[in-house]
Chain A
Amino acid sequence: MKRRLAVDLSSDCAGIKSPNPFWLASGPPTNSGEQVMRAFERGWGGAVWKTLGQDPPVVNVTSRYGAIDLGTSKIAGLNNIELITDRPLSVNLKEISQVKKRFPKRAVIASLMVPCERKAWHDIVRKVSDSGSDGLELNFGCPHGMSERGMGAAVGQVPEYVKMVTEFVKEKSSVPVLVKLTPNITDVRVPARAARAGGADGLSLINTINSLMGVDVETMIPKFAVGEKAAHGGYCGPAVKPIALNMLSSIANDPETLGVPLSGIGGISNWSDAVEFMLLGASSVQLCTAVMHHGFRIIDDLNAGLEGWMRRKNFSALTDFVGRAAARVVEWKRLDLHHKTAAVIDPAKCIGCEVCFVACNDGAHQCIDLRPGSRVPRVRARDCVGCNLCALVCPVDGCISMKTVETGLKPLTWEQYAAAGMKGYRLGRRKRRHAS
């Protein structure tokens, strides 16, 4: 019998080692030692402790989370206005040591946030260093509450502060330092470069996105409110994944931060989400909302899914594939103008809902026709611009596929086209014909 490929899930992110790449992100699931121990029992590779701060601890408000549901799917997006840990520092540190003692091989990362003063940072780094944590994560991302007090995102949004505080920490820390970035910024590469310049060993991203959940149209009070008033909060969960992926890949591809270890966060719900982050450069991933929604038990299918995929793809270690897809994310001007695809509807699979027709006709490029006596629409391939919309709205898997049209033309990018004085583009401009 042929033996199955040995698959090693262990991860090394900026020198922080864990038996698998799945870490609990700093948040409610890592509030206490009791929780983290249960998560480790279940199999989690690491945990970033709920952000620690100075004593006296912060005070939280009640009514803290709000969510967006899509149809019957609960929590497509989650908003929160919780602050950092509301427990005394000494209690957290004691529990971190207990966890490390019981689970020496799992990664425990202490997330930190104190005011922008050298002494405050030196103090907390010193206190934490005795706890046995494997790394530090500097929370420059919390977008609500703490930022009003000059911490969290208020630091992450000013590259000079990012660099300065990172330097404060590096002056004292004996363990690897990750800087957690805020997405509430125009170009995330700028604070990433600053963190690197300040000596960060790695970057983790994203923290939550500024958001307001909505307004209750009956009471006209914002959702979710503290009494009758609300404050903006931080948005996370499945809805934010594309934003996180874009930020992650832009850092992975930035010449100034090339090769910096990355811990991917934002909207990861399952193993394939995690693989996507890893393919774009993350060597560990962190989850918060998915755990708040479904509990620690999801680690079972995260590990199993990742392992099964690696086996199918013949990867024996994470390093075999981390970053593999990053270079495929390029600037628009590098895309091939001569590449052409067209939609094809499989009549055997079509159920005749005609939603593709409406979508193309009203919302795209008017190249799907209805034929009298048939509910199966037909694409005029010649006119199809290959936008994908019909395939996206079609409810049947595999019914509409986007097929590559062989044009026989040499690739032509916008860069080349513009350099050649707008000459050389060979795909004829479409003649507009209206569906009757």
Chain B
Amino acid sequence: MMASSTGRSAWRDNLAELKKPLSPEAVRLEASRCLYCHDAPCIQACPTSIDVPRFIRQLASFDPLGAGKTILEANPLGHSCARVCPVPVLCEGACVYAAWNDEPVRIAGLQRYATDAVHSADALPFDPGPESDLRVAVVGAGPAGVSCATYLRRLGFAVTIFEKRRLPGGLNTFGVAEYKMDRRTSLEELRLLFRLGCSVVTNREVGRDLAPKKLLRDFDAVFLGPGLAGTRDLGILGEDLPGVVDAISFIERVKARRGRGLPSGERVVVVGGGNTAIDAATQSVRTGAKRVILAYRRGLADMPAYDFEVALAKTDGVTLLMNAVPKRVLGLRKAESVEFARTSTKAGRLIESSTELFTLPCDRVIKAIGQRKENALPRAFGVALNGDGTIKTDPDTLRTSRRGVYAGGDAVNGGKEVVNAAADGKRAAWGIHRALRPGVPPPPDNEYWISTL
């Protein structure tokens, strides 16, 4: 268990990035381990199809900037993906070394080395395309929107990004666990990409501050990348007591390093079993909580969180409480305890016991049972939704039911990873080009990324 500390400066250290950058020597070693597979499984496993063996070979031949270009061509968010991607289920999980019972090549670490080199050189490896008078609006400066904007600029479109928040980056800036990637890194990544010449308008919520109609009139196409909405409610008594917070706002406060309302010395109950629940629990520990219990209504094997995330929570000293569903939050003026009912599963169905009840005293309850779908924006644009509330799109172009309107990221896939959002942005940009300039080949220097689609 990691030492939990109540001091403010201590939790700063506990939030420092867990994975340290590889040394040049370690990079040499790892790069020389890569077998340079044909039709490599790691490329197939990457949603953006980064040519992993190629960039590793470039690292091995002392060309980190070339390696960085290979990465950023396929995935403009390669700098953050190197830190936040769940690689054990993506590229590294697919590495053929697994069949050899050996550790996979440390692809994420190598990728980070390459994109770090690009950032220290402070040189974007590609230029905007020849300017055209076609204009595209991007709604949301999350990974999907930023990726789309990057490729649109490379194709020569004029791009304006509208972002409702104060800072760009979406969950990359506000949601990803601080010990995976700090906020500064996310913002640095964006600063470099925006050099392509996107105008970024922050503090502007489309649908509230700006009418969709106006966007449709002023722009030749619109890309929607609004992500998901807030955390779902528990729907139980006492939920609105002070001390009950949703995971996303909690994490946001941690990442902003805002001390007020952080769980110094507190007892925390996190409700949920996904990766966000884990992130909330581990960051509670890392900001000084005395005891953190993660309560999930089903069994350990059913937890949607990745195994390696669950393992991290365990090493951080989080107590995992399985088969418990919250019934009430109790407390006079603030949350003081949660009452749980025991659950069991019969033939796949979850059954709550009405007799087996117990309460856990706590100072804070963090809700992490998934995010709602964002439907105000798609409704305002009048685009069709799927049954689960995600935006309906054409899989090849990511066009919505409405001509000129495209969408991608969490709002379309229901909530996956940064890399999926980046892949969507790339696909949509190419879809927009084909729709706005039918039959026109892309400007020079765009062939490579298009080939990765």
**What is the interface of chain A, defined by CB distance below 8 A to chain B?**
71-72, 351-355, 357-358, 370, 375, 395-396
Partner of A353, one of B25, B29, B31, B37: B37
- Of the listed stretches B71-79, B95-103, B226-234, B260-268, chain A binds B95-103
In the assembled complex, the Cα of A370 lies from the Cα of B37 at a distance in Å of: 13
Known interface pairs A71-B32, A72-B32; A352-B41 also in contact (CB < 8 Å): yes
In the assembled complex, the Cα of A357 lies from the Cα of B29 at a distance in Å of: 25
In the assembled complex, the Cα of A105 lies from the Cα of B29 at a distance in Å of: 44
- A351-B32 in contact (CB<8A): no
| Residue contacts A-B, CB under 8 angstroms, 30 given | A71-B29, A71-B31, A71-B32, A71-B60, A72-B25, A72-B29, A72-B32, A351-B96, A351-B97, A351-B99, A351-B100, A352-B41, A352-B96, A352-B99, A353-B35, A353-B36, A353-B37, A353-B38, A353-B96, A354-B37, A354-B38, A355-B35, A355-B37, A355-B38, A357-B38, A358-B38, A370-B39, A375-B41, A395-B35, A396-B100
**Using Cβ atoms and an 8 Å threshold, which residues of chain B touch A355?**
35-38
What 10 pairs across the A-B complex have the smallest Cβ distances?
Answer: A71-B32, A354-B38, A353-B37, A351-B99, A358-B38, A351-B96, A353-B35, A353-B96, A72-B29, A351-B100
In the assembled complex, the Cα of A358 lies from the Cα of B28 at a distance in Å of: 24
**Using Cβ atoms and an 8 Å threshold, which residues of chain A touch B38?**
353-355, 357-358
In the complex, the chain A residue whose C-beta lies closest to that of B99 is A351
In the assembled complex, the Cα of A358 lies from the Cα of B53 at a distance in Å of: 14
**Using Cβ atoms and an 8 Å threshold, which residues of chain B touch A395?**
35
- Distance of B64 from chain A, by nearest CB (Å): 14
In the assembled complex, the Cα of A395 lies from the Cα of B99 at a distance in Å of: 13
In the assembled complex, the Cα of A396 lies from the Cα of B41 at a distance in Å of: 17
In the assembled complex, the Cα of A346 lies from the Cα of B97 at a distance in Å of: 17
A72-B29, A352-B37, A354-B38 known; 10 other A-B pairs, CB under 8 Å?
A: A71-B29, A71-B60, A351-B96, A351-B97, A351-B100, A352-B96, A353-B36, A353-B37, A355-B38, A358-B38
In the assembled complex, the Cα of A396 lies from the Cα of B96 at a distance in Å of: 11
In the complex, the chain B residue whose C-beta lies closest to that of A217 is B62
Interface centre among B29, B60, B100 (most CB of A within 10 A): B100
**Using Cβ atoms and an 8 Å threshold, which residues of chain A touch B41?**
352, 375
In the assembled complex, the Cα of A353 lies from the Cα of B36 at a distance in Å of: 8
- B36-A72 in contact (CB<8A): no
**Using Cβ atoms and an 8 Å threshold, which residues of chain A touch B31?**
71
In the complex, the chain A residue whose C-beta lies closest to that of B29 is A72
- Distance of B449 from chain A, by nearest CB (Å): 24
- Distance of B34 from chain A, by nearest CB (Å): 10
In the assembled complex, the Cα of A72 lies from the Cα of B29 at a distance in Å of: 6
In the assembled complex, the Cα of A238 lies from the Cα of B335 at a distance in Å of: 72
- Distance of B43 from chain A, by nearest CB (Å): 12
In the complex, the chain A residue whose C-beta lies closest to that of B28 is A72
Q: What per-residue 1/0 map shows which CB atoms of B369-413 lie under 8 Å from chain A?
A: 000000000000000000000000000000000000000000000
**Using Cβ atoms and an 8 Å threshold, which residues of chain B touch A71?**
28-29, 31-32, 60
In the assembled complex, the Cα of A385 lies from the Cα of B32 at a distance in Å of: 30
**Using Cβ atoms and an 8 Å threshold, which residues of chain A touch B100?**
351, 396
- Distance of A220 from chain B, by nearest CB (Å): 16
Partner of A354, one of B29, B39, B60, B99: B39
- Distance of A356 from chain B, by nearest CB (Å): 9
Number of interface residues of B (CB under 8 A): 16
Interface centre among A357, A370, A395 (most CB of B within 10 A): A395
In the complex, the chain A residue whose C-beta lies closest to that of B36 is A355
Interface centre among A353, A355, A358 (most CB of B within 10 A): A353
Interface centre among B25, B28, B37, B41 (most CB of A within 10 A): B37
- Distance of B432 from chain A, by nearest CB (Å): 34
- Distance of B378 from chain A, by nearest CB (Å): 39
In the assembled complex, the Cα of A396 lies from the Cα of B37 at a distance in Å of: 13
In the assembled complex, the Cα of A114 lies from the Cα of B99 at a distance in Å of: 61
- Distance of A370 from chain B, by nearest CB (Å): 8
Interface centre among B25, B28, B38 (most CB of A within 10 A): B38
Interface centre among A351, A357, A375, A395 (most CB of B within 10 A): A351
- Distance of A93 from chain B, by nearest CB (Å): 44
In the assembled complex, the Cα of A351 lies from the Cα of B41 at a distance in Å of: 11
In the assembled complex, the Cα of A353 lies from the Cα of B29 at a distance in Å of: 19
- Distance of A276 from chain B, by nearest CB (Å): 26
In the assembled complex, the Cα of A350 lies from the Cα of B52 at a distance in Å of: 21
- Distance of A371 from chain B, by nearest CB (Å): 13
In the complex, the chain A residue whose C-beta lies closest to that of B30 is A72
- Distance of B111 from chain A, by nearest CB (Å): 19
- Distance of B51 from chain A, by nearest CB (Å): 14
Q: What per-residue 1/0 map shows which CB atoms of B16-32 lie under 8 Å from chain A?
A: 00000000010011011
Within 8 A of A (CB), among B33-49: 35-39, 41
In the assembled complex, the Cα of A352 lies from the Cα of B38 at a distance in Å of: 9
In the assembled complex, the Cα of A395 lies from the Cα of B39 at a distance in Å of: 16
In the assembled complex, the Cα of A354 lies from the Cα of B28 at a distance in Å of: 23
- Distance of B310 from chain A, by nearest CB (Å): 28
**Using Cβ atoms and an 8 Å threshold, which residues of chain A touch B97?**
351
In the assembled complex, the Cα of A354 lies from the Cα of B40 at a distance in Å of: 8
In the assembled complex, the Cα of A392 lies from the Cα of B215 at a distance in Å of: 61
**Using Cβ atoms and an 8 Å threshold, which residues of chain A touch B25?**
72
In the assembled complex, the Cα of A351 lies from the Cα of B38 at a distance in Å of: 12
- Distance of A405 from chain B, by nearest CB (Å): 26
Q: What per-residue 1/0 map shows which CB atoms of B255-280 lie under 8 Å from chain A?
A: 00000000000000000000000000
**Using Cβ atoms and an 8 Å threshold, which residues of chain A touch B37?**
352-355
**Using Cβ atoms and an 8 Å threshold, which residues of chain A touch B39?**
354, 370
**Using Cβ atoms and an 8 Å threshold, which residues of chain A touch B32?**
71-72
- Distance of B445 from chain A, by nearest CB (Å): 24
- Distance of A364 from chain B, by nearest CB (Å): 14
Q: What per-residue 1/0 map shows which CB atoms of B230-248 lie under 8 Å from chain A?
A: 0000000000000000000
- Distance of A354 from chain B, by nearest CB (Å): 4
In the assembled complex, the Cα of A357 lies from the Cα of B37 at a distance in Å of: 10
**Using Cβ atoms and an 8 Å threshold, which residues of chain A touch B28?**
71-72
- Distance of A305 from chain B, by nearest CB (Å): 26
Q: What per-residue 1/0 map shows which CB atoms of B83-105 lie under 8 Å from chain A?
A: 00000000000001101100000
In the assembled complex, the Cα of A357 lies from the Cα of B39 at a distance in Å of: 10
- Distance of A181 from chain B, by nearest CB (Å): 35
Within 8 A of A (CB), among B88-143: 96-97, 99-100
In the assembled complex, the Cα of A170 lies from the Cα of B433 at a distance in Å of: 86
In the complex, the chain B residue whose C-beta lies closest to that of A354 is B38
**Using Cβ atoms and an 8 Å threshold, which residues of chain A touch B36?**
353, 355
- Distance of B29 from chain A, by nearest CB (Å): 5
In the assembled complex, the Cα of A399 lies from the Cα of B18 at a distance in Å of: 38
**Using Cβ atoms and an 8 Å threshold, which residues of chain B touch A354?**
37-39
**Using Cβ atoms and an 8 Å threshold, which residues of chain A touch B60?**
71
In the complex, the chain B residue whose C-beta lies closest to that of A350 is B99
In the complex, the chain A residue whose C-beta lies closest to that of B37 is A353
- Distance of A172 from chain B, by nearest CB (Å): 53
- Distance of B106 from chain A, by nearest CB (Å): 14
In the assembled complex, the Cα of A354 lies from the Cα of B37 at a distance in Å of: 6
In the assembled complex, the Cα of A53 lies from the Cα of B135 at a distance in Å of: 81
In the assembled complex, the Cα of A349 lies from the Cα of B25 at a distance in Å of: 30
**Using Cβ atoms and an 8 Å threshold, which residues of chain B touch A375?**
41
Q: What per-residue 1/0 map shows which CB atoms of B402-427 lie under 8 Å from chain A?
A: 00000000000000000000000000
**Using Cβ atoms and an 8 Å threshold, which residues of chain B touch A352?**
37, 41, 96, 99
**Using Cβ atoms and an 8 Å threshold, which residues of chain A touch B96?**
351-353
- Distance of A378 from chain B, by nearest CB (Å): 14
**Using Cβ atoms and an 8 Å threshold, which residues of chain B touch A357?**
38
- Distance of A98 from chain B, by nearest CB (Å): 42
Interface centre among B29, B31, B99 (most CB of A within 10 A): B99
Interface centre among A72, A358, A396 (most CB of B within 10 A): A72
